Amino acid sequence: MPTLRLTKRTIEAIVPPSAGQVLYRDADLPGFGLRVGTRSRVFFAEGQVRRRTVRVTLGKFGPLSPEVARKKALRALSEMAEGRDPNAEKKGRQASSMTLQAAFDDFFATRSLADSSRDNYGRTIDVYLRDWAEKPIAEIDRRMVLARHRKIGEANGPVAANGVFRHFRSVYNFVSATHGELPPNPVSILTQARAWNAERRRRSVIPAHGMPKWWRAVHLEDEDVRDFLLVALFTGMRRSEIARLRWENIDLSGRTLTVPMTKNGDPLDLPLSDFLFDLLTDRRTDDPAGEWVFPGDGETGHIVETKRFYARVAKNSGITFTLHDLRRTFVTIAESLDIPHYALKRLLNHRTDGDVTGGYIIMDVERLRRPVSRVAERILELADVQQRYARAA
């Protein structure tokens, strides 16, 4: 690394490299230097902070004279000698001034989120924390978090309150990690004060004895409603994944279905049981040029609102359910058939994080074909229908 006394004359005499950068160290002040690129000359100060090399950019030569740059270098080197990292402190100031809205926007821009997750995070900032949107994120303290969590719980329910501050916690940690260290996450007060709301996990399914009644009620609906609910039951897929299915994601020749983006960010490839193959083949025959498997009239082009389906089917069957109950029903039936643990996790697109053995098992779509067929056969058996008449029954 070349050394010379950094003055206006010596700097102007430096020939820039044809590519890359060359660092010049000042002969008079250790730690003061100049970074020369093909088109730029930038002053820097370099020192040790807790045995780690830290380089601080001081400014460009031209707007900044060597004399002023040397004074700035002395201040930066003095801070480093005291164990302070000027870069980290600058990032911390920038992070502290970032508004909550900007934090969420940056989180969205740099994270790969499933559409459903993005919608949920968006609802947090657009609805529940809207009055905090232009507030610097570092000014949101523990007291505010505790009060808002309680308010949302009373107005919108305990699950909504917990979800909002799980989202806030993730965004706050993201900003602290990527833009500069912030004060401790204020959401920690919910743990310390034991203020997280108790959440009772739903355990409802379509009961085995009620499957024939449910099946008949589903078949009273029009084809779109009927097929939407049957796809949910025979795959265990989430509502948003089914609603956003495109025909380009269906391979009828290979008898597979692909969900490009799921809730955890991973794609999901599923084999089609004979029942689903027949169902989807009929739908494609009825709509050979369509884009969406389940088209809708809204801006998205696909079906969006499905809750009204459940109410009608529940009324006609006497069985109250949600779409997620169909996912639990699929899982429950699969487990009752002793489907292998890792096959079941793959069918549900659950990750095997922390499971060393699971990380070595490659569960391709063909290995899932038999488990999927067994689950489909059992569903039809419980519904007391024969497959060739299943959709018309």
Strand ranges across the sheet with 3-4: 3-4, 22-26, 32-36, 41-49, 52-60
Specify the 3-state DSSP secondary structure of 62: coil
Question: CA dist 337 to 299, 332, 377, 379, Å?
Answer: 42, 9, 11, 11
Mean pLDDT, range 364-389, rounded to an integer: 83
What's the angle, vertex CA 150, arms to CA 149 and CA 156, rounded to 5?
85
Tell me: the pLDDT tens digits for 224-280?
999 999 999 999 888 888 998 999 999 999 999 988 866 555 678 889 999 999 999
Long-range contact list for 341-347, CB < 8 A, 24+ apart? 343/367, 343/368, 343/371, 344/371, 347/236, 347/270, 347/371, 347/372
Q: What is the CA radius of gyration of the chain?
A: 30
Split at pLDDT 50, 70, 90, the class of 96 is confident
116: burial class by Cβ within 10 Å (0-12, 13-18, 19+)? middle
Report which secondary-structure segment, H or E, holds 129.
none
Nearest to 251 by CA among 119, 366, 130: 366
Among 3.40.190.10, 3.30.160.390, 3.40.50.12780, 3.30.750.24, what is the CATH number of 3-84? 3.30.160.390
pTM > 0.75: yes or no = no
Residue 115 has pLDDT above 80, yes or no: no
C-alpha 70/C-alpha 53 separation (Å) is: 19
pLDDT confidence of residue 117: 82
Question: CA dist 383 to 145, 212, 327, 392, Å?
Answer: 49, 4, 16, 13
Tell me: the pLDDT tens digits for 208-235?
999 999 999 999 999 999 999 999 999 9
- For helices 211-218 and 307-317, what crossing angle results, to 10°? 120
In CATH, the number for domain 208-389 is 1.10.443.10
Tell me: the pLDDT tens digits for 153-179?
999 989 899 999 999 999 999 888 887
Specify the 3-state DSSP secondary structure of 135: coil
C-alpha 283/C-alpha 228 separation (Å) is: 11
pLDDT confidence of residue 246: 94
Among 2.30.130.10, 1.10.150.130, 3.40.50.11600, 3.40.50.300, what is the CATH number of 96-192? 1.10.150.130
User: What residue ranges of the chain are covered by domains with CATH 3.30.160.390?
Assistant: 3-84
User: What residue ranges of the chain are covered by domains with CATH 1.10.150.130?
Assistant: 96-192
Contact 73, 29 (CB under 8 A): yes
Nearest to 257 by CA among 349, 167, 358, 127: 349
288: burial class by Cβ within 10 Å (0-12, 13-18, 19+)? exposed
